[in-house]
A and B are shown apart, each in its own frame.
Chain A
Amino acid sequence: MPRLKPEDLEKIRERMRGTVTLREGKAKAKIIVHMGTCGISAGARKIMSTLLSLTEEKKTEDIIVTTSGCAGFCSKEPMATVELKGEAPVKYVNLTEEKITKIFNEHILGGKIVKDFALAIGSEQLG
């Protein structure tokens, strides 16, 4: 390991930013891929892998890809919910690898909801 100068410390911080964001759970955008048995049998894992390759390819650091259980609308699986910071969550349904790629580029990176693939905006009331 070489002796560091102040600029090198900054470079390390840059490099590690993705890990820090992941561990703090706060990010510019969060995509939740719904798993559960229905999701997995409908192909949710392929949607997940596509998203992970996309984040790696575009070298995004403040986008979190995570999972949750069944979203409840089993006939429309695979589903994913996209949450941009400060905006209401958007639920996307009947996903394929092509559709999620389009959603990634247009909604997550571009900020524009892909209305054709979306089911609803906002979430259910709890309790």
Chain B
Amino acid sequence: MPYRMNLMLCGGTGCAAQGSFKLKGVIEQELKKNNLQDEIQVVMTGCNGFCAQGPLMAVQPDGIFYQMLTEKEIPYLVEEHFLKGRTVKKLMYTPPLEEKPVPKMSEIPFFNKQRLIVLKNRGLIDPEKIDEYIARDGYKALTKALSKMTPDEVIKEIKDSGLRGRGGGGFPTGRKWESARHANGDIKYIICNADEGDPGAFMDRSVLEADPHSVIEGMIIGAYAISNAGEMPVIGYVYVRNEYPLAIEHLTIALKQAREYGLVGRNILGSGFNFSIKINRGGGAFVAGESSALMSSLEGNVAEPRAKYIHTVEVGAWGMPSCLNNVETWANVPVIIDRGSEWFSKIGTENSKGTKIFSLVGKINNTGLVEVPMGIKLREIIYDIGEGIPGGKKFKGVQTGGPSGGVIPEKLLDLPVDYDELAKVGSIMGSGGMIVMDENTCMVDVAKYFLNFLKEESCGKCVPCREGIERMHEILDNITKGKGKEGDIELLEEISEVVIDTSLCALGATAPNPVLTTIKYFRDEYEAHIIDKRCPAGVCKELIEYSILADKCTGCGACAKQCPQEAISGEKKEPHKIDKDKCIKCGACYEVCNFEAVRIQ
């Protein structure tokens, strides 16, 4: 008997960390108890995207969405909804500041404002079953390319679509493939960059976990295009960071199943074309995401970039032509070949076609993964999909592009998301990290954080990056500790100019972006730190002071109990006092006070 109901349970890393795999067992047990096991199937899917509300489950065919599931609610859920047909309101999603829950996934703003193209299989397939990928038009594009298109036609289609590299550089993909096609070499390489080093970015992880075949299919099509239908051998590599065990597991299973079906390997689909893919696990360095550094690491050497007067498409891994693209770029390829470049180029803006996946994180109500068409306004992403800042706090800025990007302030929120528009304001699209900041985020501290990250990750080969970033970090550190001097801002700007112009690779060349954009849009915060020795956001520990407001304090003593340093004293029902010499500014008193009597300034 076919199943009448499928419970799509999210098995992405976020929900898995909250116990979703264990939940599967519990649900199946309850279904058996109620004799429903032949009617209802539990399916573990990849990341659903609404990560802040996990563990998540979508009940199909009704489209009911449940969130924040725990083991002890399962028996009630199974009895009420699956046996008796009554949906369970208390497990549904309620938008912030509202009272009524929204039962259907298609009506939740987080979901219905997105446009899923790369993530079209999200929440609908089990990534460990190749048949489910095939069922939703999987490998249709590959069939079309191998049997009905020439390599030149494939390249033309990608060029016409306007697809640009989704790893951050935004280089036109079709043009890269064309260069690879015409490059000379005894062997060519197709490489997938799955190193994803940006802090806060998890788009590639999500795609690899949830829909690994979309990447595999893209790579095979790419190999066919650049090898001129097998004129010379092509070998594929997926360079994936070792910190993604679930992605590696799913990719391994997917490759195994694809090999067994003859979709990868020799004589693919009986066409005579050969192409195989190997998985290479990264050594754990951010710089290995840089194309030439990645290839160096692939060869077994240390991940260090080289000057790119000669591009890697001509001389890449092992000195041979190598076509390297990001996970998301590869995942766009089957969709473009299947549905056509004309359809694809209608989505997005003039120069940025298609969609982009963003990992929306930070001070935002709806943390998670969103896929939106290019050209959508930042304001829509943050307020309509993200549903605003938690606690009703004020928006301050959004960092796009990770450590290579810049902070965009409130006045620029109507900016359309587009490679060129973001570059105009000093940021970059990057791989898709979008970190939202509120009034309690210190911009100087943010710049320091990113520089600290890059200082650790710099390979050290070239002086501007190695020394420049270290010095900039030192200056920022001094500023946050109240040791800033007049002229520091100008010095930062001067060093930035040199680092941008003379660094060997993009890690160094883009490192000053967070500093320069925060100086440009939040100069007043820098000046407050340097001149007034004050941190307006209340973050930099050396510059803030905790005190108790006598007129608000009720003398309840809750703060004194929490203080790890026993720095708070006072009589019951009398206003309390904080001893500044003992205070370590941990913030515990601020957290527990119910009367907003603790002041940070």
Residues of A within 8 A of B60 (CB): 22-25
- Given known pairs A1-B261, A25-B62, the reply for A13 and B134 (CB within 8 Å) is yes
Nearest opposing residue in chain A for B261, CB measure: A4
Whether the Cβ atoms of A66 and B5 lie closer than 8 Å is: yes
B572 interface contact, C-beta 8 A: no
A4 and B134 alpha carbons, distance in the complex (Å): 12
Residue from A12, A20, A35 within 8 A of B86 (CB atoms): A35
Residue from B8, B63, B135, B267 within 8 A of A13 (CB atoms): B135
B4 interface contact, C-beta 8 A: yes
A33 and B5 alpha carbons, distance in the complex (Å): 13
A3 and B268 alpha carbons, distance in the complex (Å): 9
Q: Number of B residues contacting the other chain (C-beta, 8 Å)? A: 37
Nearest opposing residue in chain B for A6, CB measure: B143
Residues of A within 8 A of B131 (CB): 12, 15-16
Most interface-central of B3, B134, B136 (chain A CB within 10 A): B134
Whether the Cβ atoms of B63 and A25 lie closer than 8 Å is: yes
A-B pairs, 5 with minimum CB distance: A3-B262, A16-B135, A35-B85, A67-B85, A69-B86
Whether the Cβ atoms of B132 and A3 lie closer than 8 Å is: no
**Nearest-Cβ distance from residue B481 to partner chain A, whole angstroms:** 55
Nearest opposing residue in chain A for B260, CB measure: A1
Residue from A24, A27, A37 within 8 A of B84 (CB atoms): A37
**Nearest-Cβ distance from residue B204 to partner chain A, whole angstroms:** 24
Nearest opposing residue in chain A for B84, CB measure: A35
Whether the Cβ atoms of A22 and B61 lie closer than 8 Å is: yes
The contact string, 1 if C-beta is below 8 Å from chain A, for chain B 113-156, is: 00000000000100000011011110110010001000000000
A91 interface contact, C-beta 8 A: no
Whether the Cβ atoms of B132 and A22 lie closer than 8 Å is: no
Whether the Cβ atoms of A40 and B143 lie closer than 8 Å is: no
- Given known pairs A6-B269, A12-B131, A13-B135, the reply for A56 and B63 (CB within 8 Å) is no
Residues of A within 8 A of B63 (CB): 25
Most interface-central of A3, A21, A55, A64 (chain B CB within 10 A): A3
**Nearest-Cβ distance from residue B372 to partner chain A, whole angstroms:** 21
- Given known pairs A25-B62, A36-B85, A52-B39, the reply for A6 and B134 (CB within 8 Å) is no
A18 interface contact, C-beta 8 A: yes
Whether the Cβ atoms of A34 and B139 lie closer than 8 Å is: no
A5 and B2 alpha carbons, distance in the complex (Å): 27
Residues of B within 8 A of A75 (CB): none
Can you name 26 A-B residue pairings with CB atoms under 8 Å?
A1-B257, A3-B260, A4-B262, A6-B270, A12-B131, A12-B135, A16-B131, A17-B135, A18-B2, A20-B136, A22-B3, A22-B4, A22-B5, A23-B61, A24-B60, A35-B83, A35-B84, A36-B84, A40-B84, A53-B1, A56-B1, A64-B61, A67-B84, A67-B85, A68-B85, A69-B86
B562 interface contact, C-beta 8 A: no
Residues of B within 8 A of A114 (CB): none
B478 interface contact, C-beta 8 A: no
Which residues of A, 5-58, contact B by the 8 Å Cβ criterion?
Answer: 5-6, 9, 12-13, 15-25, 27, 30, 33-37, 39-40, 48, 52-53, 55-56
Residues of B within 8 A of A84 (CB): none
B238 interface contact, C-beta 8 A: no
- Given known pairs A4-B262, A4-B269, A16-B131, the reply for A52 and B85 (CB within 8 Å) is no
Q: Could you tell me the dominant secondary structure of chain A's interface residues?
A: helix
A118 interface contact, C-beta 8 A: no
A70 interface contact, C-beta 8 A: yes
A113 interface contact, C-beta 8 A: no
Residues of A within 8 A of B260 (CB): 1, 3
**Nearest-Cβ distance from residue B465 to partner chain A, whole angstroms:** 49
Residues of A within 8 A of B179 (CB): none
Residues of B within 8 A of A5 (CB): 269-270
Whether the Cβ atoms of B4 and A52 lie closer than 8 Å is: yes
- Given known pairs A3-B261, A4-B261, A25-B61, the reply for A9 and B84 (CB within 8 Å) is no
Whether the Cβ atoms of B85 and A39 lie closer than 8 Å is: yes
B87 interface contact, C-beta 8 A: yes
**Nearest-Cβ distance from residue A111 to partner chain B, whole angstroms:** 21
A65 interface contact, C-beta 8 A: yes
B6 interface contact, C-beta 8 A: yes
Residues of A within 8 A of B43 (CB): 23
| Extra contacts besides A1-B260, A66-B61 (12): CB < 8 Å | A1-B257, A2-B262, A3-B262, A6-B269, A16-B131, A17-B135, A22-B3, A22-B4, A25-B61, A35-B85, A53-B1, A70-B86
Whether the Cβ atoms of B62 and A55 lie closer than 8 Å is: no
Residues of A within 8 A of B269 (CB): 4-6, 9
B408 interface contact, C-beta 8 A: no
Nearest opposing residue in chain A for B87, CB measure: A69
B263 interface contact, C-beta 8 A: yes
Whether the Cβ atoms of A23 and B261 lie closer than 8 Å is: no
A5 and B61 alpha carbons, distance in the complex (Å): 32
Residues of A within 8 A of B132 (CB): 16, 19
A40 and B34 alpha carbons, distance in the complex (Å): 13
Residues of B within 8 A of A52 (CB): 1-2, 4, 39
A34 and B84 alpha carbons, distance in the complex (Å): 8
A35 and B4 alpha carbons, distance in the complex (Å): 15
**Nearest-Cβ distance from residue B43 to partner chain A, whole angstroms:** 8
Residues of B within 8 A of A2 (CB): 261-262
A12 and B136 alpha carbons, distance in the complex (Å): 10
Residues of B within 8 A of A16 (CB): 131-132, 134-135
